[in-house]
Structure 1
Amino acid sequence: MGEYCAPAAAAAEGDVLPRAPVAAAGRYLYGDYDRCSTKQVFDNLHGNISLDPLAREFVDTEEFQRLRDLKQLGLTYLVFPGAVHTRFEHSLGVYRLAGEAMNNLQKYQGNELGIDRIDVQTVKLAGLLHDIGHGPFSHLFEHEFLPRVHPGSTWSHEHMSALLLDSIVDKHAIDIEPDYLKVIKEMIVASSDVSTAEGVKEKRFLYDIVANGRNGIDVDKFDYIDRDCRACGIGSNFQHWRLLEGMRVMGDEICYPAKDYLSIHKLFTTRADLHRTVYTHAKVKAVELMLVDALVEANEYLGISLHADDPEDFWKLDDTIVKSIETAPNDELKKAKEIIQRIRRRELYKFCNQYSVPKDKLDHFKNITAQDIVCSQITSKVLLKEEDVAVSNVKIDLTRGKDNPLESIKFFKDFGCEEKFPITDERVSHLLPVCNQDRIVRVYAKKPELVEAVSEAFENLQLRMYGEKTQVHDTPTKKKRRFN
C-alpha cells in the first residue's frame, strides 16, 4: 500500500511531492496523475470528465456499474419521458464539480488553507461515491418502502454508501490508505444524521463541498438540479458556476460574495420547484404508491428488505427488481404482479384531491393516514376500507424545514474584505417568501369506482380538522362519477 499512498504528514508540512514514476504495477501516488493516466468520459451536461487512475478503479467495479440500472428520479420517467438519466452519470457529474470547487479554492487560497493533492483527491472521490448506497428507484426505497416493512427504520443511503465503500475496497483490493478512506466516508455522510463532520478540527470546510450539512449548498445539488431540469424540460436560471467561482473560505467556513445572495436563493427555490412540479407530481406519486404496494407484497417471498442489512447483498438490488417480480414463478406474488401490470397499462390509483396544510397549523401537523380518511366517512353508497385508500404526505422546503437556509450562510462584501456576515431577507427584497415550508396532503382511490366515496371522506376530514375545506377546489362531480 505504501507505494501508492503518500504519507499525509509530508503533505501537511507543505512539501512539494514529485509525481511518482510509474512502477512495475502501474501505480501512482494518491492524488497524483498526468494526462497519460486519465480516461476521458463525455457527459452531456458537463462535457469531458477526466477520471484519474484511482477513480477509474472504483468506477470499473460491478458495485459502481450497478448505478447504470438506478434511474436518478425513480419512476418519474413514466410521467416525464425524458427523465431516464441514472445515478451513474450523476455521480460522474458530482465528481467533476467537486474537482472544479477544489481547483478554484486551491488556485486562490491553496497556500493559505494548506490544500494539497490529497485533499483534492479525497473530495473528488467523495463526490464520485456519495450515491453508491442508493436502493432501487432511489429515494422510494429509503423513504417509502423500508418504513412500510420496518416501521421506524433509520436506514439511510449515506450510511449504506459508507458500508459499501468498505466492501468494495476489500473485495477488489483497491490500494488506498485507511485514513484517506475514513475521511471519504465522513464526507459522504456529512449531511446525514450520523455525520461526524462537526467534530473535525482541521479543514472542516472540505466536508461542506459534496454533502453540506451546515447550510445545504453543495455540488451534489448543483449537478442534480441542472441535470433534472434539463431532463424534464423544466426551465432553470440557476448558475452554479457563479458560486463555484465566488466561493471563499473564511474561518474554516465557505462564504460567498454578498452580490450572489439571490443566486443562492435561486438554488433553493429551483430545488423546491422541482419537488413540487416533478418529484412529487400527483401522477408520479400515484405510480410510486402502487410500486411500494407491490414491493411490500413481494417482500415476504423475495426478502427484499433483508438485502438492506448487508452490503455484500445490497449492491445486487437495482431497478430490475420489477422484472424479477414479474418473472417469478411463485404464485404468492400474484397480487404484486397484478399491481405492476396495472402500472404498465396506466391503470393508476385515482387522484382525488389535495390540500395544503394551513401555515398556522404546520407546527402540530401529523401525517394523514388511510385510517383517518376511512374514519371520516359519514354516508356513502359503499363502505371504505383502509386498503381502498392511499395517502401521500408531501413536505417541500428549502432544505432546512421551516427555517430559511440563507440565515446559516455567511457572506463577504468583496475579496479584499476579511469580515463575514449573514444577510436577512428584509435587507434584500420584500418579495421573498415569509414561509419556507409547504405540507401537502394528497389522497388516492385504489379502485376507480371509489373516487366519489374517497373524495367525500377527504372533504369531511378537512371540515373536522379545520372547520372548512382547505383544498384548492372541490373534486369535480364529473370526476367523482366517471367510473360509477
Structure 2
Amino acid sequence: MSALDSQPTSLPTVEDDDPHGFFVPKALRDVKDVIHTSIPIHFHLNQFIDTLPFQRLRDIKQLGTSSYVWPSASHTRFEHCLGVAYLARCLASHLQTNQPSLKITNRDVGCVEIAGLCHDLGHGPWSHVWDGIFMPKAIKGCEWQHERGSEMMFDYLVKNYKIPISDKDVRFIKALIAGDPTQCDASEKPFLFDIIANKRNGLDVDKFDYIQRDSHMTGTSFSFEATRIVKSARVLDNQICYNIKDANQIYEICLRRFGLHKSIYNHKTARAIEYMIVDALLLAEPYMKIAERVFDPERFLYLNDYILNEIERSKAPELEASRQLIKRFRHRELYREVVWKAVEFTSKKAIQDSITSERIMEKAQKTFEGEGSEEPFDLTADDIIVDITTMHYGMKERNPVDFIKFYSKKHPDKPMHAGPGDYSGLRPSIHAEILLRIFTKKPEYFGRVHDAYNAVLVDMSEEFSAGADTVPNTPTLASARTPDASSFETLPKTPGGDAGDAGTGSGQKKKRAFGRSNSAMMSKNYFADVDRGYRHESPSASTRRMSTGGVAVAVVRDPSAVAVVTTFQPTADLSQLFEDGTEGAIIDATPLQRLKRGREDELQPPIEGIEVKRRKESAK
C-alpha cells in the first residue's frame, strides 16, 4: 500500500487557533462564476466581501485598457479575487484532508482563503497601468506598488469593519499576500506561502485563475483542469510538489502566461491607450493631486477607472489639456506604434542605454534640417516613446518548471526536479525575451520617426563593432536544469546568418563583432518599413471623412469628373479647392457646419481628379 493510500482521514481540532469558530466553513450563499461554475461564500469570507474596500474592485478592470481592443475583456478585479479565494481554499483544504500529518487547521485554510480574496485590494485604476507607468512619473523616485496598497487597504478594512481576527492572523494574511514568511510569526507553516504568491517557482492559484479568466474573456480559450493540478498537490520538503504526470500541463500554463503577455496584455493598441491615459492623468495631476490619493485609504476608496469621467465632467480650465487628450482617444486618434522588434532577453541593458527618445529625435531633426525644408519641425523627444517590455514564463529567463519538485505514484514521498526527458524537450534555453517598440504621439511624423530609429540602429552596429568585448553574452544559469543549446545538434545555417555561429562541438565560441543576442536588436524590421514622408492616419478619421453624416465636398479638376466626399468628424469640415485656389461652396452644409473648424491636416493625394482639403483650425 502506498503512502497516498494509507493517509488517515480525520481532521485536526481547531480550538487552539480559532477559539471563536470564526474560520469554521459555514456557507452562506453561492456565486455563479464563468470559470469555476459556482463559488461558495463562507461566513468569514463574507465579512470581507460586503465592504467598500472590496466592492471598489468592481470598478477596476482586470486587463486595464484591453477592453478597447477586446470589448468582452471588461471583467474586473472583483471576480478575479473571488476566483483566487476559491482555488486557495480548494488547494489548502485538499492538503488538510489528504495529509493530516501537516496539522493544517481551519484557521490556516481560512487565512489562505482571505489572502486570496484580498491580494489585489491595492490595485489602482487600470490595474498595472497605475503602478507600472503612472506612479513613477507622477512622483519621481516613488516605488509604490499595488502590494503596498493591498496591505494598507487590508488594515483599513479590518479596523473599520471590526473584523474579529487577531493581530497574528492579520500579519499572517498580509505575509501570505506578499509571499514572504519573514513578515509573520516563524510558527506559520512555510508551504502555505506557495499558494497565493509563490516566490519559489511562480506557480500559484493567482495564475491558475487569471490565465483561465483572461483567456476566456478575450476569446482565446485556454482550458486546463485546475482541479486536477490542485488534487495532485502534495507537501514534501516543506514545499508544494506535484505529480510528474502533470509536468507537461504545468509547463503549458507557464507557456500560456507568456502567450497572454505577448498577444493580449501588450497589444499595441492597448499599450498606446495606456500611454494616452497616463499622459491625461499627468496633465491633470497638478490640479487634482491624483497620485497622492494612494497614501490615504479614505481617498483611495474612490480611486478607480472612472477617474477619467471625473476629468471629462469637470469644467475647470486647468483640466482642458487633459480633456482634449481624453477626447482624442475616445475618437480613436491614438498614439501610433512605428516599429516593433522581439529581442533577446540579454540585450535589455544595451537597448536601454542605446535606444532613447532623445537619440531618435536628434536623428530625425538632423535629417529634416539637411533637407532644407521651410516647414516647421515641432517633434520633440517627449513625442517619442521607447517602450521596452520583458515577457517571460514566470521567472524571467529561467524555466519555472526547473524550480518545481515532483513525485510519482511509485515514489510518492520522494520529491525531485524533472530532468531532461522527464517531460517535453521542446523548450527554449532562455524563457524570456524583450519586446522593443517605438511609438509616436504625432502620427504626422510617423515616417520620420521610423527613419530616425533605423539611423540609430546603424550607429549602434558601428559602436558594438568597435567595442566587441563589451557586448553581453547569454549568462550561464547554474541553478536551471534546462539543457544548454550546445547539447543539441547544430541547425542548418539560417538565411543571412553568420557561418561562424555554428557550434564546433568543442564548446569553444568564435569571437565576433557582436553577439547573437545583439544581432536581432540591431537589425531592421522590414515588415514595418515605411518611407520617410509617410504620415499615419487613423482608420476612424478616414471613416468619418467617408461617412454620410457630415459635409459633402467636391473639388473639380476635370469638368467631366464630379465626385462627392463627406465627413462625419464633429470638429472639422471640408471645403472645395479649385485649381485657381478659390474655394467653392460647401455642398449640403448647414450654417453651423460652416462655422466649424478642424485641426490642420495635410492635403490629401488626388483621387480620380478630386482633391480634398481640411480647413485650418481657427485662431480661436
**TM-score of the aligned structures, taking structure 1 as reference length:** 0.89
| Candidates 413, 416, 421, aligned match of 2:416 | 421
Q: Could you tell me how far apart the structure 2 residues matched to 1:270 and 1:347 are?
A: 32
Match of 1:129 in 2: 118
Q: Could you tell me how far apart the structure 2 residues matched to 1:359 and 1:466 are?
A: 18
Q: Deviations over 1:337-365 (max 9, x none)?
A: 11110111000012111112245534644
Match of 2:101 in 1: 112
* C-alpha spacing 1:346/1:243, structure 2 compared with 1 (3 Å): same
1:337 equivalenced with 2:323 (yes/no):
yes
Structure 2 counterparts to residues 390-401 of structure 1, below 5 A: 390-401=385-396
Letter in 1 for 2:86: R
Pairwise CA distance, 1:199 = 8.2
Match of 2:13 in 1: 15
- More divergent stretch after superposition (429-438 vs 117-126): 429-438
Q: Deviations over 1:310-345 (max 9, x none)?
A: 223222200010001111222111111111101110
Higher Cα Rg, which structure: 2
Letter in 2 for 1:186: A
* C-alpha spacing 1:436/1:376, structure 2 compared with 1 (3 Å): farther
Match of 2:467 in 1: none
Match of 1:273 in 2: 259
Match of 1:436 in 2: 431
Pairwise CA distance, 1:470 = 3.9
Q: Deviations over 1:160-214 (max 9, x none)?
A: 11111111111122221111111001111117xxx73698454101111011111
Report if aligned partners of 1:197, 1:204 keep a CA contact under 8 Å in 2: no
| Candidates 408, 411, 420, aligned match of 2:406 | 411
Pairwise CA distance, 1:376 = 3.4
Pairwise CA distance, 1:137 = 0.6
Q: Could you tell me how far apart the structure 2 residues matched to 1:142 and 1:125 are?
A: 23
Report if aligned partners of 2:124, 2:130 keep a CA contact under 8 Å in 1: yes
* C-alpha spacing 1:16/1:330, structure 2 compared with 1 (3 Å): closer
Q: Could you tell me how far apart the structure 1 residues matched to 2:65 and 2:348 are?
A: 29
Q: Could you tell me how far apart the structure 2 residues matched to 1:464 and 1:200 are?
A: 55
Report if aligned partners of 1:285, 1:392 keep a CA contact under 8 Å in 2: no
* C-alpha spacing 1:140/1:415, structure 2 compared with 1 (3 Å): farther
Match of 1:379 in 2: 367
Q: Deviations over 1:122-161 (max 9, x none)?
A: 1000001111110011000000100112233221111211
Q: Could you tell me how far apart the structure 2 residues matched to 1:59 and 1:436 are?
A: 38
Report if aligned partners of 1:356, 1:471 keep a CA contact under 8 Å in 2: no
* C-alpha spacing 1:180/1:360, structure 2 compared with 1 (3 Å): closer
Pairwise CA distance, 1:85 = 0.4
Match of 2:32 in 1: 42
| Candidates 44, 47, 50, aligned match of 1:60 | 50
1:476 equivalenced with 2:530 (yes/no):
yes
Pairwise CA distance, 1:477 = 3.8
Letter in 2 for 1:347: E
Q: Could you tell me how far apart the structure 2 residues matched to 1:254 and 1:474 are?
A: 46
Q: Deviations over 1:28-69 (max 9, x none)?
A: 61211434xx12211121122111112111111111111111
Letter in 2 for 1:355: K
* C-alpha spacing 1:276/1:108, structure 2 compared with 1 (3 Å): same
1:248 equivalenced with 2:234 (yes/no):
yes
Q: Could you tell me how far apart the structure 1 residues matched to 2:282 and 2:186 are?
A: 40
Match of 1:346 in 2: 332
- More divergent stretch after superposition (276-285 vs 436-445): 436-445
Report if aligned partners of 2:13, 2:105 keep a CA contact under 8 Å in 1: no
Q: What secondary structure is seen at the aligned counterpart in 1 of 2:426?
A: coil
Letter in 2 for 1:441: L
| Candidates 167, 174, 179, aligned match of 2:168 | 179
* C-alpha spacing 1:303/1:481, structure 2 compared with 1 (3 Å): closer
1:87 equivalenced with 2:77 (yes/no):
yes
Report if aligned partners of 1:356, 1:470 keep a CA contact under 8 Å in 2: no
Q: Could you tell me how far apart the structure 2 residues matched to 1:40 and 1:339 are?
A: 43
- More divergent stretch after superposition (286-295 vs 399-408): 399-408
Q: Deviations over 1:400-459 (max 9, x none)?
A: 111222221111122643211112456533321122111111111212211011111111
Q: Could you tell me how far apart the structure 2 residues matched to 1:236 and 1:450 are?
A: 40
Report if aligned partners of 2:335, 2:443 keep a CA contact under 8 Å in 1: yes
Q: Deviations over 1:47-94 (max 9, x none)?
A: 221111121111111111111111111111000111010111111111
Report if aligned partners of 1:187, 1:207 keep a CA contact under 8 Å in 2: yes
Letter in 2 for 1:51: I
Q: Deviations over 1:231-268 (max 9, x none)?
A: 00113144322211111000110011112111111111
Aligned length: 459
- Consecutive unaligned residues of structure 2, counting only runs of 5 or more, are 1-10, 463-521, 538-601, 603-620
* C-alpha spacing 1:437/1:151, structure 2 compared with 1 (3 Å): farther
Letter in 2 for 1:49: I
Q: Could you tell me how far apart the structure 1 residues matched to 2:43 and 2:422 are?
A: 48
Q: What secondary structure is seen at the aligned counterpart in 2 of 1:376?
A: helix
Match of 1:31 in 2: 23
Match of 1:77 in 2: 67
* C-alpha spacing 1:350/1:33, structure 2 compared with 1 (3 Å): closer
Match of 2:452 in 1: 457
- Consecutive unaligned residues of structure 1, counting only runs of 5 or more, are 1-12, 21-26
* C-alpha spacing 1:389/1:17, structure 2 compared with 1 (3 Å): same
Match of 2:483 in 1: none
Higher relative contact order (CA 8 A, sep 6+): 1
* C-alpha spacing 1:201/1:401, structure 2 compared with 1 (3 Å): farther
